[in-house]
């Protein structure tokens, strides 16, 4: 039977017996059975005590022979673990603190980006913005200055930030995206109301993220003031609008077409 070992006496004199059976060594503390007859051992003695070795010792007066049996205990079969629940698409919970957007995607020189990115977009006008606002965060605030932003690598469309709710009401989300080719993600924000050269400075934000496809996870970012530009095609004032940082996503990946709550 399962979880048992059967010991057989395959040779021995007719008068041999009775026997004591131990596990591991012939120590009284290891005794499993005693006064086991030759006939019982010849037929097979079954025990539910499973060990790597057994000692069968004769109890006859004229000899105390012992036989050591080495066995391999049965390997317990792992208990099947039922699969976890499949994420169920559905309505997002009420958003109180943070932003909500529908993820978009764009291909750039062999790189595929998913999520949201609507500010300081290379080229002016630019075709590289992706992701769309979603209720209840639908207010978009333009970055400071006059299009186009000029920098050493060329012009950028200044774009806008998505105004948050509650604890994020003084911040405009400019970027929350993942480069699926490299696995790196980036986060960007501006201050609201915006000033000509102001940005949120250095700091850290974190929270949970929930998608209407049933997925969820956590996010975090340490951010700092990013690049400076000269607005009005390089003929205007210097602006440093954004703070940007690496985005860490845990337990979730951004998917094109999915709407997300970014909770702060």
Closest CA to 158 of 245, 241, 224, 246: 241
Backbone angles phi, psi at 189, to 5 degrees: -145, 160
Q: Please spell the DSSP secondary structure of 230-247, one letter per residue.
A: ETTTTTS-EE---EEEEE
- What pTM was computed for the model? 0.67
> Whole-angstrom Cα distance, residue 74 to residue 7?
15
What digits encode the pLDDT tens for the residues 3-20?
677 777 665 554 566 788
> Whole-angstrom Cα distance, residue 10 to residue 56?
12
Nearest 5°: the CA angle 105, 258, 162 is 75
Report DSSP state, residue 38: H
Candidate from 50-54, 118-122, 163-167 with smallest mean pLDDT: 50-54
What digits encode the pLDDT tens for the residues 85-112?
666 677 899 999 999 999 999 987 778 9
Residue 177 neighbours by CB distance under 10 Å:
24
Pairing of strands 216-225, 149-151: unpaired
């Amino acid at each position: 039977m399962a979880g048992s070992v059967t010991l057989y006496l395959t040779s021995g004199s007719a008068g041999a017996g009775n026997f004591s059976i131990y596990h591991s060594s012939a120590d009284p503390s290891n005794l499993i059975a005693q006064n086991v007859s030759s006939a019982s051992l010849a037929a097979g003695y079954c025990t539910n005590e499973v060990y790597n070795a057994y000692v069968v010792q004769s109890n006859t007066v004229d000899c105390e022979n012992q036989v050591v049996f080495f066995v391999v205990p049965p390997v317990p079969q792992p208990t099947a673990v039922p699969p976890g629940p499949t994420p169920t698409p559905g309505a997002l919970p009420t958003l109180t603190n943070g932003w909500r957007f529908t993820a978009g995607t764009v291909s750039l020189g062999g790189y595929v980006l998913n999520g949201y990115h609507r500010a300081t977009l290379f080229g002016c006008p630019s075709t590289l913005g992706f992701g769309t606002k979603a209720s209840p965060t639908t207010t978009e605030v333009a970055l400071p200055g006059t299009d186009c932003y000029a920098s050493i690598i060329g012009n950028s469309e200044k774009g806008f930030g998505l105004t948050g709710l509650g604890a994020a009401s003084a911040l405009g989300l400019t970027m929350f995206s993942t480069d699926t080719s490299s696995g790196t993600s980036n986060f960007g924000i501006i201050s609201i109301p915006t000033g000509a050269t102001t940005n949120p400075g250095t700091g850290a934000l974190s929270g949970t993220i929930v998608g209407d496809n049933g997925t969820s996870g956590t996010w975090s970012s340490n951010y700092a003031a990013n690049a400076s530009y000269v607005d009005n095609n390089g003929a205007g004032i210097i602006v440093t609008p954004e703070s940007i940082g690496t985005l860490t996503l845990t337990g979730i990946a951004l998917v094109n077409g999915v709407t997300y709550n970014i909770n702060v």
